[in-house]
């Protein structure tokens, strides 16, 4: 009966966020409106990504279309769609995109209270071979709407109001955390709606998978090398772990969230700050544990995803600049410990 109820009583993402909002009577519905604009961006990217294989046929990226206009690459196009959708919500004041060197300050006439840090299309090098890619976003509140400053962006992940990612994979899945739990929604293409399919996601306390780019092994530090060696040759008689590495952070993090285990992009001799940008990495409420290398800190790929996953040390880091990178270790509590 319960399954039947879910089939006929659809919990769309908008309905879910509105429900959450009624728990805060002081709320004015701004977050619901703002998230709707993010959702629109995700639907656009999803539709574009699914046509990417037809690019040659349809004349996308780098080619000239029938009107003689140069077609834009998907990441550039996605960025433009997100920037416009976010500004037109009237709810944002500063936009920090992985695609843009500088932060965008929204014109006073269209300004709202939110700051959004996002990567419109992460892993775009994976498009041509059809591997899952994703959008990552995090939302902060500005201190003074009439006087937004770059320092307002440089907040620890703990201050995130909401964060999440959308994965363009076998299906299009949006995972959202508003700080009180992590919920997954799957796009029903026939309805054009994200439907709640993964309520209250909790990462398993321990997992059987480790996920890392082992091609960087010669540049790792000793603790990382030892850890991976232990995954392959456990000394306690437990079976060795399986290795899974997609090379697309949203997909690797999504698998870690659902199946457990550990994902790491450590610092190494070549990349002393790791590769991932701090604001792109993870959200709270799923019992994740994440941690950063003890000597360095970073911002763009790491925070929103840490927020979907947990509220611990990674979320305490205060980024020094908007495109700061950070080594990251995240996943099941026991594995990260």
Q: Which residues contact residue 146 at a Cβ distance below 8 angstroms, ignoring those fewer than 6 apart?
A: 108
Closest contact distance (angstroms) between CB of 165 and ligand AHM is: 11
Length of the chain measured in residues: 337
279: nearest Cα among 163, 184, 200: 163
- Closer residue to ligand AHM (CB): 112 or 138: 138
Q: How far is the CB of 310 from ligand AHM (least distance, A)?
A: 19
Whichever of 48 and 124 has its CB closer to ligand AHM, that residue is 124
Smallest distance from the beta carbon of 90 to ligand AHM, in angstroms?
30
Phi, psi of 151 (to 5 degrees): -60, -25
Our CB check for ligand AHM shows the closer of 127 and 315 to be 127
Residue 2: CB minimum distance to ligand AHM, A: 37
d(CA 320, CA 325): 10
Query: Helix, strand or coil for residue 198?
Result: strand
Q: Report the residue number, 124 or 178, with the smaller CB distance to ligand AHM.
A: 124
Listing DSSP states for 156-192 in one string gives -GGG-SEEEEEEESSSEEEEEE-SS-EEEEEEETTTT
137 close to 42: Cβ distance less than 8 angstroms: no
Residues 6+ apart with CB under 8 A from 151: none
Of the pair 89, 305, the CB lying nearest ligand AHM is at 305
Using the minimum distance from each CB to ligand AHM, give the nearer residue, 14 or 213: 213
Q: What is the closest distance, in whole angstroms, from the C-beta atom of residue 328 to ligand AHM in the complex?
A: 9
Q: How far is the CB of 135 from ligand AHM (least distance, A)?
A: 11
C-alpha to C-alpha distances, 207 to 7, 115, 260, nearest whole angstrom = 31, 35, 4
Please report, as ranges, the residues that interact with ligand AHM according to CB under 6 A: 122-125, 213, 247-249, 275
């Amino acid at each position: 009966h319960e399954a039947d109820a879910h089939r006929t009583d659809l919990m769309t993402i908008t309905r879910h966020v509105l429900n959450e909002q009624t728990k805060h009577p002081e709320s004015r519905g701004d977050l619901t409106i703002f998230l709707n604009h993010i959702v629109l961006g995700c639907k656009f990217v999803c539709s574009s990504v699914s046509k990417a294989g037809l690019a040659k046929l349809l004349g996308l990226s780098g080619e000239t279309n029938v009107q003689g206009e140069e077609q834009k690459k998907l990441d550039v196009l996605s960025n433009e769609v997100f920037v416009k959708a976010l500004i037109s919500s009237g709810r944002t004041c500063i936009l920090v995109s992985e695609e843009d060197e500088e932060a965008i300050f929204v014109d006073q006439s269209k300004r709202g209270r939110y700051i959004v840090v996002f990567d419109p299309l992460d892993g775009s090098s994976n498009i041509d071979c059809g591997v899952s890619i994703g959008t990552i976003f995090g939302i902060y509140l500005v201190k003074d709407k009439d006087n937004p400053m770059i320092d307002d962006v440089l907040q620890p992940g703990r201050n995130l109001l909401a964060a999440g990612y959308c994965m363009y994979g076998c299906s299009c899945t949006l995972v959202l955390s508003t700080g009180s739990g992590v919920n997954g929604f799957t796009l029903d293409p026939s309805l054009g709606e994200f439907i709640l399919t993964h309520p209250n996601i909790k990462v398993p306390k321990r997992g059987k998978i480790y996920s890392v780019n082992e091609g960087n092994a010669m540049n790792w530090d000793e603790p990382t090398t030892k850890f991976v060696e232990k995954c392959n040759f456990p000394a306690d008689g437990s079976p060795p772990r399986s290795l899974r590495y997609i090379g697309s952070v949203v997909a690797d993090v999504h698998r870690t969230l659902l199946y457990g285990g550990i994902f790491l992009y450590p610092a190494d001799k070549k990349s002393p700050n790791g590769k991932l940008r701090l604001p792109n990495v993870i959200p709270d409420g799923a019992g994740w544990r994440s941690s950063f290398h003890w000597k360095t800190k970073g911002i763009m790929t790491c925070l929103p995803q840490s927020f979907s996953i947990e509220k611990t040390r990674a979320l305490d880091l205060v980024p020094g600049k908007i495109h700061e990178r950070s080594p990251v270790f995240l996943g099941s509590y026991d594995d990260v410990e």
